[in-house]
Amino acid sequence: MRKDKDDMEKLLLRAKKDANKFFSSFPYANFNKDVHYNLEKGRKPIPIKSLNYKLCLKYSVLGICFLLFLIGAIYKYNKNSFVRDKMVSMGEPVSQQMLKFEEENIYQWLHFFKINKPYQKDNNLLAVIWSPINNGDFEMVYSSMFENSSRPLPVHIIGFPENRSSIIIISSKNDEGKYIHYRIISYKDNRFLTYFEQNYVAGGKIEVVDGAIKETRLVPNNYVEKNDDQDMSKIVTYYIPYQSDKWGNITLPLEKLNMNKGEHIAIIGDESVPIEISDSKLLLSWDRESSLVRLNNDIKHLYAGNSGNEYIYIKPVNGGISKRIFINVIDGDETEKEK
């Protein structure tokens, strides 16, 4: 936008110079002399031959050309502005949330903007995280598009006191509340890294429970016949985020997790630090082929198939100290029908 304004100012300045040049060379003195002479002679008509006809014609043509050039330039400028407005539309933020991390003295801002794709009008949101820099200014450090979604949801932050890092959960839902989008982002050493993201989670809900990220979603009982009237089942998944310190040791935001039989666990973190999970009598491997929830194959998935309690250990594959979580599985139905 700034470049377009500069180009317009240059064009107007050029037009002003051409106009001054045109009028500075016009024969005003001769015209004044002829006017006074004819007034003294009784207002006789000025003979055409007394004017420099060729000179007047020349300046008239130049004036018309200049006028057409100026009109064309203004039309092109307005047309380009119209095209820009049609291609991208983004105004004031519809939501502003402060991000304050316990281990740092600075704060950051999460803004949601309404934004349209080129030549389309739809309810898209652009999430932007701003970080403060020198002189009170801010720079954009993260952005993500939330398509067909117009209602930002409150942000969640999970802290890792051991290695001065945090997990941020950004989410939104559509006007009817039929689905949500969300992003799970790691913040460490002034860097943002997306751990996990999901779009169009039907009947979705995101919560933070005892340091774990609890996702609730609805899936159809009969996935082949998709329609709005069919029965839906509820699936609950606890995402346990992990990070590693500079020595490669695992850090976790929780030590204990209570869950129901039939619910799921997924361990997520930096893929550059692969992990392994100890054998468990309560948590079974998640059958990816029959699952309706499609997730990254690198993410460790477990399913609470038995009730009871035990410790599970999360250990870095390439060496380092492992961490343990006490899991308490309570008897419950494997699925809950949506009423």
Predicted pLDDT at 145: 93
DSSP H helix total and E strand total for the chain? 3, 22
How far apart CA 312 and CA 309 sit, in angstroms, is 10
How far apart CA 126 and CA 229 sit, in angstroms, is 32
Q: Return the SS3 of 16.
A: helix
How far apart CA 220 and CA 197 sit, in angstroms, is 21
Please give the structure tokens belonging to residue 265: 């666990």
Closest CA to 62 of 19, 122, 112: 19
How far apart CA 255 and CA 94 sit, in angstroms, is 37
Place of tokens 């410790």: 311
Neighbours of 295 (CB within 10 A): 17
Q: What is the pTM of this model?
A: 0.69
Contact assessment for residue 153 and residue 172, using Cβ atoms and an 8 Å cutoff? yes
Tell how strand 151-152 and strand 156-160 pair up: unpaired
- The most distant pair of C-alpha atoms in the chain lies apart, rounded to whole Å, by 122
Predicted pLDDT at 152: 95
Predicted pLDDT at 220: 84
Tell how strand 232-244 and strand 264-269 pair up: parallel
DSSP 50-118: GS-HHHHHHHHHHHHHHHHHHHHHHHHHHHHHHHHHHH-EE-S-SEEEEEE-TT-S-EEEEEEEEEE-T
Q: How many CA atoms lie within 13 A of 257 on its CB side?
A: 30
**What residue ranges do the domains of the chain occupy?**
2-87, 152-337
Neighbours of 153 (CB within 10 A): 19
Task: Write b or e for each residue in 8-23: b if 16 or more Cβ atoms lie within 10 A of its Cβ, otherwise e.
Answer: eeebeeeeeebeeeee
pLDDT < 50 stretches in the chain: 35, 43-44, 46, 48-51, 79, 81-88, 224-225, 288, 290, 334-339
Task: Write b or e for each residue in 126-136: b if 16 or more Cβ atoms lie within 10 A of its Cβ, otherwise e.
Answer: ebbbbbeeeee
Tell how strand 156-160 and strand 275-277 pair up: unpaired
Predicted pLDDT at 300: 83
Closest CA to 119 of 82, 150, 146: 82
Q: What's phi and psi for 178, nearest 5 deg? A: -80, -25
Q: What is the CA radius of gyration of the chain?
A: 35
Closest CA to 311 of 246, 273, 239, 254: 254
Collect all residues with Cβ–Cβ distance below 8 Å to 60 and sequence separation of at least 6: none
Predicted pLDDT at 294: 54
How far apart CA 299 and CA 291 sit, in angstroms, is 14
Please give the structure tokens belonging to residue 12: 């107007």
Please give the structure tokens belonging to residue 286: 């998640």
Sequence length of the chain is 339
Contact assessment for residue 96 and residue 110, using Cβ atoms and an 8 Å cutoff? yes
pLDDT tens per residue, range 164-178: 789 999 999 998 889
